[in-house]
Structure 1
Amino acid sequence: MLHAVSFALLDSVNALLIGILVAIGIILPRGKYRRIAALVVVGDWVGVLVAAAVVMFFLLGVKDQIEAILSSPIAGWVLVVVGIAVAFGSWRSKGQPNALVNRLLEPLRTPSPITALIGFVMGVVQSLTSVPFYYGLMHLATEDIAPAAQYGGLVWYASLALSLPTICGLFIAVVRAHPKSAAGRLFAAARANSTQVALFGGYLVAIFLILMGVLSL
């Protein structure tokens, strides 16, 4: 279970969602920000939950094979390779913001069902393209508990996977309400050094993946 929690927390380093929350926090009025940020995060959470339920359904059907993979060196080497790839990708991007953030800003200027739908699609796509997402669910699927409990565990899994974006969204709300506070100054410093912050996040994920892979060998 500890492995599932670890990968869920690692999956919460969602650069796209955090980037969108920061962007709308800068350009939108305070009241609009709260409504739109809430819709995006809730939509993303539902997207992660739905994607996790679908993947869990297939994983439980091949539970024995998943256990064999996790107990073999293959799982560890995959994590090491992915960690190196993430580090290389972060280095190549030089911490520049995701271009997709700018494309999504236009439909996110007004709260509507489309706002939640965009969050939902982001949650599904981000999950299905995330290696930590699959590894976390693989560990959850091999837990010696009833299938109902495993599906129920997806609720807290999705919540942990959205923990960092949610904290960032709340932090931005506090900054908007109290721009002269310590939180406001910290946010201003992070904005001024956004490329370094993005690089740090990418390298942190890479290091964690490599360490988890090495420990699994």
Structure 2
Amino acid sequence: MLHAVSFALLDSLNVLLIGVIVALGVMLPRTAPYRRIATLLVFGDWLGVFLLSVVTMVVFDGLGDLVQRALESPVFGILLIATGVLSLVLTLRGGGKGDNALIGRLLGPLQTPSLKTIGVGFILGVVQSATSVPFFAGLGFLSAGDYPAVVRYVGLVVYASLALSLPAISAIFVGMVRAYPHSPFGRAFEWMRTRQELMVKLAGYIVAVVLTVMGVVSLL
């Protein structure tokens, strides 16, 4: 269970969703319903992560002992290390311009709270999780654990919530900044906003280091 929680928290470093939330906080007028928009966006993302986790759990359960053998195989540790190294290389080479362009395109449907807001969040959640090694690794440990089916599937609610914990905290933080722009939160936000590329790289480095360490530990 600890492994599943660890990978879910690692998956919460969703740079794209956090970037969209920050952009909303900066771009929306002061009178805009930021709280409702951010709430619907995060909910849509959570829904995408949750539904994908249910589908993934059904597939993993159908594979039976194959998932357990895969997690115990040296290949799993090597895959984590390779993913960590790839993340490090991409972070070193990337400048965040591609993400900024994508965030700009996503802001259009997010000007007012609507079903489109949930839809954008849903797509972000599915895409982020479907391309995330920590997401599938955590579900693999949850599936391979000796837990009743009810515990595993109800636990997916918690799993998806943990995977959205950091974006949710970011949304609350940005909301506080909008309400109190001259507070310490506002000054911290301004410091991070002017160092956006540094923040993106820092998240990439954290993911790279943690995945590599986890991979090394699994090989020992």
Contact 1:17 1:165 in 2 (8 A): yes
Structure 1 residues 114-129: aligned runs within 5 Å:
114-129=116-131
The one-letter amino acid of 1:88's match is: V
The one-letter amino acid of 1:159's match is: S
SS at structure 2 position matched to 1:107 = helix
Structure 1 residues 33-48: aligned runs within 5 Å:
33-48=34-49
Q: Deviations over 1:17-58 (max 9, x none)?
A: 000000011111344211111110001001100000000000
The CA deviation at 1:97 is: 5.8
The one-letter amino acid of 2:43's match is: V
Contact 1:69 1:75 in 2 (8 A): yes
Q: Deviations over 1:85-136 (max 9, x none)?
A: 1111111113446021111111111211111011111111111111100000
The CA deviation at 1:72 is: 1.3
The one-letter amino acid of 1:187's match is: F
Instruction: State which drifts further: 112-121 or 89-98.
Output: 89-98
The one-letter amino acid of 1:193's match is: R
Q: Deviations over 1:115-160 (max 9, x none)?
A: 1011111111111111100000000001101112101110000000
2:26 matched to 1:26? yes
Aligned residue in 2 for 1:7: 7
The CA deviation at 1:63 is: 2.5
2:147 matched to 1:145? yes
Structure 1 residues 1-217: aligned runs within 5 Å:
1-30=1-30, 31-96=32-97, 98=99, 99-217=101-219
Q: Distance in 2 between matches of 1:29 and 1:97?
A: 25
Structure 1 portions without partners, runs of 5+ = none
Structure 2 portions without partners, runs of 5+ = none
* C-alpha RMSD over aligned residues: 1.0
Q: Distance in 2 between matches of 1:196 and 1:122?
A: 22
Extract structure 1 runs of 4+ deviating beyond 4 A. none
Instruction: State which drifts further: 90-99 or 181-190.
Output: 90-99
TM (normalized to structure 2)?
A: 0.96
Q: Deviations over 1:63-100 (max 9, x none)?
A: 20111111111110000000001111111113446021
Q: Distance in 2 between matches of 1:190 and 1:156?
A: 29
% identical aligned pairs: 50
Instruction: State which drifts further: 105-114 or 167-176.
Output: 105-114
The one-letter amino acid of 1:191's match is: R
